[in-house]
Amino acid sequence: MNGHVLAPGTAAGEALVLDEPLSLWGGLDPNSGEIIDAHHPQHGAVVTGRVLVMPAARGSSSSSSVLAEAARVGTAPSAILLGEPDHILAVGAAVAEDLYGARIPIVVVDPRQLASIRAGQRLRIEGDGRIGPG
């Protein structure tokens, strides 16, 4: 599997597959890494160290701050795979790297390929956007 890199880096982890888009602002507690959006199907799941797989990002433009704060606290996902580009998360990752040296690769993958990723599957993300078994 190959994708378009929005934020570079290498990472590995278990896939946390979201059934619906998530707004990190109001949806992720950066202090615990937990999904706190009560309306979200994966409410209660912890993103920390996982490869977060979601069809799209959603909602608030403050999600970049939440991603950077999660990186500072150490609760961020190890990588994010998206079905469509999102500049809000891309900037959050860039700031996390600049301020804290934390790299959270973000890769846009063809939505059909994204849908083939199973929850719990171990994945490895390479700097050029290649995604393989971890």
Partner 1 sequence: MGAALAMRLVVRVAQALDAERLIPITRAHVDSCLYHGQASLDFAQRLLDGGARVSVPTTLNVGSLDLLHPELWRGDPEHAERGRRLMEAYRALGCHATYTCAPYQLSDARPGLGEQVAWAESNAIVFANSVLGARTERYGDFTDIACAITGRAPNAGLHRTDARRAVLVLRLAADVPEALRDADALYPVLGIVVGRRAGSRVAALDGLPPGLSEDRLKAIGAAAASSGAVAMFHAVGSTPEAPTLEAALHGGQPEAVVEITIDELRAARDALSTADAVPGAPIGAVSLGTPHASVAELHHIVAELAGRRVHPDVELLVATSRGVLAAAEEAARRLQDAGAELLVDTCSYLGPILRPTPLPVMTDSAKWAYYAPGNIGARVVFASRRECVESAVRGRVWRDPALWGDA
Per CB under 8 A, does 17 bind partner 1?
no
Min dist CB 90 to partner 1, Å, is 4
CB neighbour list of residue 102: distance below 8 Å, 6 or more residues apart: 71, 72, 76, 96
Residue 88 touches partner 1, criterion: CB under 8 A? yes
Is 60 one of the annotated active-site residues of the chain? yes
Q: How far apart are the first and last CA of the chain?
A: 13
For partner 1, the binding residue among 63, 77, 104, 123 (CB under 8 A) is 63
Element (H, E) at 95: helix 87-100
Q: Is residue 114 involved in binding partner 1 (CB under 8 A)?
A: no
Among candidate residues 23, 32, 60, 61, the one labeled active-site is 60
Q: What letter does residue 71 receive in the DSSP assignment?
A: H
Residues assigned a catalytic role: 60
